[in-house]
Amino acid sequence: MTELTHLTIAEARDGLKAKTFSASELAQAHLAAMEKARALNAYLIETPEKALAMAKASDEKIAKGEGGALEGIPLGIKDLFCTEGVTTTAGSRILGNFNPPYESTVTRNLWNDGAVMLGKLNLDEFAMGSSNETSAFGPVVSPWRREGSNVSAGTSGAIEGTHLVPGGSSGGSAAAVAARLCLGATATDTGGSIRQPAAFTGTVGIKPTYGRVSRWGTVAFASSLDQAGPITRSVRDSAIMLRSMAGPDPKDTTCVDLPVPDFEAAVSRGVKGLRIGIPKEYRVDGMSPEIEQLWHQGAEWLRAAGAEIVEVSLPHTKYALPAYYIVAPAEASSNLARYDGVRYGLRENGRDIVDLYEKTRAAGFGREVKRRIMIGTYVLSAGYYDAYYVRAQKLRTLIKRDFEEVYARGVHAILTPATPSAAFGIGEKGSGDPVEMYLNDIFTVTVNMAGLPGIAVPAGLDGQGLPLGLQLIGRAFDEETLFAAGQVIEDSAGRLTLPQAWWA
Amino acid sequence: MSVDEKTVRRIAHLARIAVTDAEVPHLQGELNAILSFVEQLNEVNVEGVEPMTSVTPMVMKKRQDGVTDGGIPQKIVQNAPATEDNFFLVPKVVE
């Protein structure tokens, strides 16, 4: 029998139904793998007791022929989702030992469908980062290594050598899925935080349309951009998991009242007759020839499967990232005002209330978060609001209009690279100039700015043996086409062989 | 546009984040790097363009104006660093 941790969600679902193995065995196999992989720092908190109790309940349901769509499937949860009775950190010190007395809608939906919680996954602090290096609890080690690299499991339980980052902000989610420490993981995406780490780790990540998934109970970064989605090892798994995560929610007024389609049914639909756009503005200076080649290859795969490939233009593409670095920090500065040392989390006492606020926030927030709060405060401050914030929101209108014009011409989805490069090493980027790190999101951020769905699918390896991903961007609320086209890429590229457990 | 040290201190105060003298020059450099990056937005003619207020056209959901939750003061204050009788405690604000 295949190792239980190597299964896809679809395979595990079938195996559980056929009683080839039990949910308890499946949970135990993962808990054992997690224990051996602690040096990767993917999980911030392991919840073995909860996992085993939930798995036992699943086994009882399965024995009676009952159970939900994810019955007995062990998942990791990005530590941005509030989980009742389980510490939630958002990767920050400022939340202290925050123990939510409520459950986020996304995780509630997953548990209602029978999923089993393995633990909480590491992330960039408040989801602000592209490498998981801003986490207050240390970086995550990617399970991938460059060919001939010196990275290895050290003797002291720590990783030795200059390891690669798993991407971010959902770095723990992507690393855990790639290292087979869960069958799938929840993640969130504000500028690329699902798709970039998925691309870096050879996994599948989808950011659904804004409003498809409830944001209630998820720690807020930039409310007009944040969306949750899954990271999984196959396109089909992504469809299965998103169906359970999504759906209307009276607690989030921006979550739409639309029925959730059977995403899994769309996976095998194919792309015959679809028109796929290739945006010329994504051919950026300094893009690696390997990525350019892969992009071309992806278009050929879709053409061979019956799609029509057309060149399209999204003229305001280059302004998406700078506009994002006004809009996202502005919203963050407002959302993070709640961390005041009074109602929850860390508190540093001061001589008066303002001193208490300032000391608490200075001690609790990391450098990247402080930087973004300050930029946001500046662009919203009197005298600068029109020059920065209003102008950025106008650019956002233009970016969205670009997509609308392309879709109005009969284009069903757009194919782009997911990232401008493969994964980089820890400490390699952004130490001097923060903008160097921000450029990672150049291909993904447009999608958030326009509120559209985007999926990253592994498509090949670079010369150093590292995974590269392609991105498909869809029409609003048409994730189904992304699953259909994503499956064609997965079938054409062949599923990547994930790294052996060198860390265990 | 770029910010000077005085402006960095003013922003930090507006954001309620204490900064040390040693941090100010670093923050100034980093903030200016970001501000110079976003400067390119000035190339675009945005005359007559409406600023975006909602990314998906939607009618805001409404519900009956009524109490749907409550009576859980212990849950509300359970994570607070300092409380008394289900109130949050802060340093004296009014003399």
Is residue A288 situated within a structural domain? no
The domain containing residue A172 runs over which residues? Answer: 13-281+411-493
Report the C-alpha gap between A295 and A302 in whole angstroms.
11
Confidence of residue A153 (pLDDT cuts 50, 70, 90): confident
Is residue A328 situated within a structural domain? no
Contact B18/A391, CB-based, under 8 Å?
A: no
Q: What angle do CA A304, A308, A310 make, to 5 degrees?
A: 125
Confidence of residue A431 (pLDDT cuts 50, 70, 90): confident
Is residue A78 situated within a structural domain? yes
Cβ-based neighbours of A357, under 8 Å, separated by 6 or more = A340, A341, A350, B16
Q: What are the chain A neighbours of B88 within 8 Å (beta carbons)?
A: 342-343
Which A positions 135-174 lie with beta carbon below 8 A of chain B? none
DSSP state of A103: -
Domain count, chain A: 1
Of A12-21, A71-80, A330-339, B62-71, where does mean pLDDT reach its minimum?
Answer: B62-71
A373–B contact, CB cutoff 8 A: yes
Q: What are the chain B neighbours of A98 within 8 Å (beta carbons)?
A: 79
Report the C-alpha gap between B28 and B6 in whole angstroms.
10
pLDDT score for A69: 98
Chain A residue with minimum CA distance to B56: A451
- Identify from A189, A377, A381, A437 which residue to disrupt to test chain B contact, counting B C-beta atoms within 10 A and taking the largest count: A377
DSSP state of B56: S
pLDDT score for A155: 76
Cβ-based neighbours of A430, under 8 Å, separated by 6 or more = A131, A436, A437, A438
Over residues A20-24, mean pLDDT: 98
Domain count, chain B: 1
Distances (CA, A) of A343 to A101, A220, A357: 13, 16, 12
Contact A99/B16, CB-based, under 8 Å?
A: no
Q: A444: closest CA among A132, A198, A87, A272?
A: A198
Which A positions 429-488 lie with beta carbon below 8 A of chain B? 433-435, 438, 449-451, 476
Of A40-44, A133-137, B60-64, where does mean pLDDT reach its minimum?
Answer: B60-64
Smallest CA–CA separation between A343 and chain B, in Å?
A: 5
Is residue A245 situated within a structural domain? yes
For chain A, give the percent of residues with pLDDT over 70. 100
Beta bridge mates, A117: A75
pLDDT score for A161: 86
Sign of the dihedral defined by the CA atoms of residues B23, B28, B29, B34, in that order: positive
Report the C-alpha gap between A358 and A347 in whole angstroms.
10
pLDDT score for A2: 66
SS3 A355: helix
Concatenated DSSP letters of A271-307: -TT-EEEEEGGG--TT--HHHHHHHHHHHHHHHHTTP
* Half-sphere CA count of B50, side-chain side, radius 13 A: 6
B46–A contact, CB cutoff 8 A: yes
For chain A, give the percent of residues with pLDDT over 90. 92
Over residues B18-37, mean pLDDT: 95
Contact A468, A461 (CB under 8 A): yes
Q: What angle do CA A435, A440, A446 make, to 5 degrees?
A: 100
Which B positions 56-85 lie with beta carbon below 8 A of chain A? 56, 58, 60-61, 63, 72, 75, 77-82
Type of residue found at A376: G
Contact B33/A435, CB-based, under 8 Å?
A: yes
Chain A residue with minimum CA distance to B9: A374
Distances (CA, A) of A296 to A279, A311, A315: 12, 12, 20
Report the C-alpha gap between A87 and A83 in whole angstroms.
7
**In the structure encoding, which two tokens stand for residue A81, read together?**
């989702």
Contact A177, A200 (CB under 8 A): no
Distances (CA, A) of A257 to A22, A214, A226, A247, A453: 36, 11, 18, 7, 17
Confidence of residue A67 (pLDDT cuts 50, 70, 90): very high
The domain containing residue B27 runs over which residues? Answer: 5-41
Confidence of residue A68 (pLDDT cuts 50, 70, 90): very high
Over residues B54-61, mean pLDDT: 84
Quick: pLDDT tens for A203-240. 999 999 999 999 999 999 999 999 999 999 999 999 99
Quick: pLDDT tens for A238-269. 999 999 999 999 999 999 999 999 999 999 99
Is residue B53 situated within a structural domain? no
Q: What are the chain B neighbours of A250 within 8 Å (beta carbons)?
A: 61, 63
Report the C-alpha gap between A427 and A130 in whole angstroms.
12
Confidence of residue B61 (pLDDT cuts 50, 70, 90): confident
Contact B78/A101, CB-based, under 8 Å?
A: yes
pLDDT score for A158: 83
Q: What angle do CA B79, B82, B87 make, to 5 degrees?
A: 85
Over residues A186-190, mean pLDDT: 98
Is residue A421 situated within a structural domain? yes
SS3 A10: helix
Q: Which residues of A are catalytic?
A: 78, 169, 193
Over residues A67-76, mean pLDDT: 98
Chain B residue with minimum CA distance to A326: B38
Tell me the count of A-B CB pairs closer than 8 A: 164
Contact B11/A378, CB-based, under 8 Å?
A: yes
pLDDT score for A16: 98
Chain B residue with minimum CA distance to A354: B16
pLDDT score for A241: 98
A257–B contact, CB cutoff 8 A: yes
**In the structure encoding, which two tokens stand for residue A446, read together?**
């447009």
Is residue B11 situated within a structural domain? yes
Is residue B9 situated within a structural domain? yes
Confidence of residue A492 (pLDDT cuts 50, 70, 90): very high
What is this model's ipTM?
0.96
Smallest CA–CA separation between A433 and chain B, in Å?
A: 7
Chain A residue with minimum CA distance to B49: A394
What is the rounded average pLDDT for all residues in chain A?
Answer: 96
DSSP H helices in A124-271: 171-178, 195-201, 235-245, 263-267
Quick: pLDDT tens for A91-135. 999 998 999 999 999 999 999 999 999 999 999 999 999 999 999
Contact A164, A145 (CB under 8 A): yes
DSSP state of A86: B
Report the C-alpha gap between B71 and B65 in whole angstroms.
17
pLDDT score for A166: 98
Which B positions 8-37 lie with beta carbon below 8 A of chain A? 8, 11-19, 27, 30-31, 33-35, 37
SS3 A467: strand
**In the structure encoding, which two tokens stand for residue A90, read together?**
């958002």
Residue A179 has pLDDT above 80, yes or no: yes
Higher pLDDT: A104 or B93? It is A104
B88 vs A209, A343, A395: nearest CB: A343
| CATH at residue A260 | 3.90.1300.10
